[in-house]
Structure 1
């Protein structure tokens, strides 16, 4: 099933409008990075977790956020920014999203967009994106944010805000602060993988790999790509991954450990790798999980897939530090197993905390398991 690219920006002398595949019934699991998908599946299994998150989010007042944008931004529809609205509807159609979240354009010189909210998420795009992106790149950006909405990534962002504030309030208590910072570090790692997931959603929405890569190039270097080359940009990504020595590896850890987003060259390389692996074309050919089957997703299976993804990542990288560990005795494999296991353990710790908060909200009492893991039947 296909949809016409009714809003194509080509001039009469330009190329004909492309046709994009409508991915009927597609589940967000199709584009989610395994580490992101494993965490999401686990969090959805927690009894009462959604209620607790929404109660916490009330501290920041989702309605207040929307009112603030209603008051000081432009709500996009067929009358206001109609060409942006057309790109938005096209992205949603490709991802088979029948009900569009509200979309606002906000005045800002920074090329960015975000999805906000839990009950009724909405999307905000900065004016810089409208000024610097062509129509295909804009469609990919809007598809990226729709991917965040469909995956429920606002849960991550909300909990991260809460935990960060708690960590600041508990900074006087070394043990509490250290424990929270460990959980925050794990959440940030999940969020970076969530960004890779949303990049894939943006590609599936626009179905133009060149436009998705250009979007990341513009995020790195601004809107003028007349003197920028895609192949050279990907060469930068390869040098970032494997160039230099162990000092560079340590600098990369420092740069990314407390960041919510992977660096643009790493995002471009990850997206290119996903395309080259055949996953993108496989989805376009109709081989993808359906929303109707989401209820059968297994936490155990997804956590194992996350661990395997980390093992593959560590075996593939040319990072000097990982290379040293390899030479010391298959250290990359061991490190990948540790990272995958750590993701599962952090999920279990956070799951126990979520369960405890849910029980407290319901007025229940239960002593947590001695090993810090949840006992509701979910595998860690």
Structure 2
């Protein structure tokens, strides 16, 4: 069956309302561990929102208010209906503003710190069916609910603070390591948002079609879902160590996983039973967020890396496993690294907070500082 046949055959679905759901329900363990640790810097996120959002965020919103279409029941009513449905399913109590902007690229983004809003390209409206568009809107709502934009900004502040050490002989190397770790976290945040999109639409086929369209354009009449997943398997396990090194080069400095890897991860999450358990009501609630344990989340992140290492078919990973107890080593490394990251964040928080309080002279209009919180790159952010 081709993807187009699958689309035509899809019946209307009755979605389960996930009342009181916490963003921890869809967050990838590595993403959740980092977020839980960052949330321990109590008050720091408020400083970031106040001092980095008061100028740039308003400028961004005004630029879209002036040159895009704000979605409501009168403008793009189809999009608004799907947006409210996705928000209702994820139990989003306050809808962020939604804009549609003219662009031929399939892309969307969540922007803002104090009052985030979502921007959707016209290509998404034109090329995505209802189920796919609902999944995409759920993806962006997942970013907003997880606070990814806020914490990405915090990490960028800390990265700039760490750049002050670059004059040291090892400073540049250390800085690159920090940036690489930040990118690894952001790739996991994208996997989290993909899961939120799936929960919003509750149509696995549509979520996979969305990733296929990101990879190959909007026309799926000659594309097959099974063949796309075969691509994902070949990307994961094909070739030899040289291919593994190429994959490391491709992804190390990217904020988004490649589409086939995102499809494979989403499929694995479904097959693990986690998706079904959430639909059955087995998920963490928002009212328990304050009691989340950093140490437990770090352990879960380490276990996630250990499991991924153990089941990976990548040639380089296979070689490492043959050389020794790599799965154990990688789990210990991940857990230790997460603990060190939390310690470093705690020590850096006060210094970065002082940096955030320094007055800024606005320049360059609303585009100034955009990368501090915009996740608009490499597909839906």
Which TM-score applies when normalising by structure 1?
0.87
Spell out the pairing of 1:53-92 with structure 2 (5 A cutoff). Answer: 53-55=48-50, 57-58=52-53, 61-92=56-87
Contact in 2 for aligned 1:185/1:258 (Cα 8 Å): yes
Residues 23-73 of structure 1, C-alpha deviations (whole Å, 9 max, x = no match):
000000000001111111111111331133225524862111111111111
Match of 2:141 among 128, 136, 146: 146
Shift in CA distance, 82/26, structure 1 to aligned 2, threshold 3 Å: same
Residues 143-188 of structure 1, C-alpha deviations (whole Å, 9 max, x = no match):
0000000000012332355466668888666544333322221111
The alignment status of 1:342 with 2:346, answered yes or no, reads no
Match of 2:102 among 107, 120, 123: 107
- The match for 2:368 is none
Shift in CA distance, 228/46, structure 1 to aligned 2, threshold 3 Å: same
Aligned pairs, number: 351
Match of 1:301 among 296, 319, 336: 296
Q: Greater share of helix residues, 1 or 2?
A: 2
Residues 242-286 of structure 1, C-alpha deviations (whole Å, 9 max, x = no match):
111111111111111111000100000000000000111111011
The alignment status of 1:119 with 2:108, answered yes or no, reads no
Spell out the pairing of 1:201-212 with structure 2 (5 A cutoff). Answer: 201-212=196-207
Structure 2 gaps of 5+ residues are 1-7, 359-381
SS in 2 for 1:114: strand
Contact in 2 for aligned 1:183/1:350 (Cα 8 Å): no
Spell out the pairing of 1:262-273 with structure 2 (5 A cutoff). Answer: 262-273=257-268
Match of 1:253 among 248, 251, 261: 248
Shift in CA distance, 63/42, structure 1 to aligned 2, threshold 3 Å: same
C-alpha distance in structure 1 between counterparts of 2:162 and 2:346, whole Å: 18
Residues 73-122 of structure 1, C-alpha deviations (whole Å, 9 max, x = no match):
11000011010000000000110112100000011111110111111110
Which TM-score applies when normalising by structure 2?
0.86
C-alpha distance in structure 2 between counterparts of 1:51 and 1:220, whole Å: 37
Contact in 1 for aligned 2:51/2:356 (Cα 8 Å): no
Which protein has greater RCO, CA pairs closer than 8 Å, 6+ apart?
2
SS in 2 for 1:23: coil
Root-mean-square deviation (Å) = 2.3
C-alpha distance in structure 2 between counterparts of 1:23 and 1:127, whole Å: 29
